[in-house]
Amino acid sequence: MTGSAEKRNKNKHCHYHEDVGHDTNDCFSLKQMLNRLADKGALKSYVKSKVDFKSNLGKSTKKTSQPAISSKTDYKPVYTKAGRFAGGGPTIRGKKDRLRKMVHYVDGGQAARKSASPEVIITEKERGEFRRPHDDLVVIECKVANQFVGRILINTGSSIDIISRKCLSNLKYRPGSMMDVSHLLVGFGGGVVHPVGRIDLPIRMGEKGSGRHMTIRFLVVEELNDYNLILGQTTLNKCKAVMIPALMLVKYEKDDGIVGSLNGDQKTA
């Protein structure tokens, strides 16, 4: 749903978006999704797909056996996230603009220039103490706004940074600084989350006076299950973070250009 909820038609309800503004039969997003499913042949019980139609043209009815193991590769991409701030944003126009800039950047030879990155070395002291073997996630603690916040998940699979409304309510911020968002957050399993809004908050990774200070744009959601915040790929790229999951360790570039480290809390994870 685009636009402010207050300005939408309250008499029209879309079952696909589970929101007001337009009727289900007039939903452009739903039509696009159904067309994509039909083209892939996922709606064979209802409509004839373009894939089946094209594949049957000029073919005989004689069936040919296919080997059980094939070296052919399916190059269809598999996406896991949508509705992010990064990557040009949630709109098609924004993504196209970002793609044009990226192509111009690569064609201009700028991509070959190396940005200054510090050398990452893991010392024996930074290995920390934890139980091995393990499959625990990396959960850290950082200072957000005016206080320290624990249960922060480092998630390289997320393209956005997220904060729960409950956590935000315990921090000091100007209420007017939270802005509305019109796009949805879609997770790996296809579940849709309606964000409450977005807000920019200062965050410090590491110790006072020797850490990394950043201002991060968070999506605010009602609940985050077991976590207060999720730091995604956008922030990790910004601080040039390197993840060592086996050691539950995060290496990052501090404000002074020196490499800092954060150890995950295995008990909390």
pLDDT in tens, 120-167: 777 777 766 777 778 788 888 888 888 899 889 888 878 788 888 888
Contacts of residue 266, Cβ cutoff 8 Å, sequence gap at least 6? 130, 131, 134, 136, 248
Residue type for 131, please? R
* Per-residue pLDDT at 180: 82
Q: Which CATH architecture has domain 130-263?
A: Beta Barrel (2.40)
What is the C-alpha to C-alpha distance for residues 40 and 36, in angstroms, rounded to an integer? 6
Q: Kindly state the average pLDDT of the residues 15-21.
A: 86
Q: Regarding predicted confidence, which is higher, 180 or 54? A: 180
Q: Quick check: bond before 202 cis, omega within 30?
A: no
What band does 115 get if pLDDT is binned at 50, 70 and 90? low
Q: Kindly state the average pLDDT of the residues 229-249.
A: 86
Beta-carbon neighbour count of residue 81 at 10 Å?
Answer: 17
Beta-carbon neighbour count of residue 111 at 10 Å?
Answer: 9
The model's pTM:
0.56
Contacts of residue 46, Cβ cutoff 8 Å, sequence gap at least 6? 38
What band does 82 get if pLDDT is binned at 50, 70 and 90? very low
What is the C-alpha to C-alpha distance for residues 186 and 134, in angstroms, rounded to an integer? 29
| Cα 63-67-71 angle, rounded to 5 deg | 125
Q: Is residue 235 within 8 Å of residue 215, measured between CB atoms?
A: no
Q: Regarding predicted confidence, which is higher, 240 or 49? A: 240
Above 70 in pLDDT, residue 103?
no
Tokens of 144: 């957000």
Residue found under tokens 């990052």: 252
What band does 112 get if pLDDT is binned at 50, 70 and 90? very low
* Per-residue pLDDT at 78: 45
Extents of the domains making up the chain: 1-56, 130-263
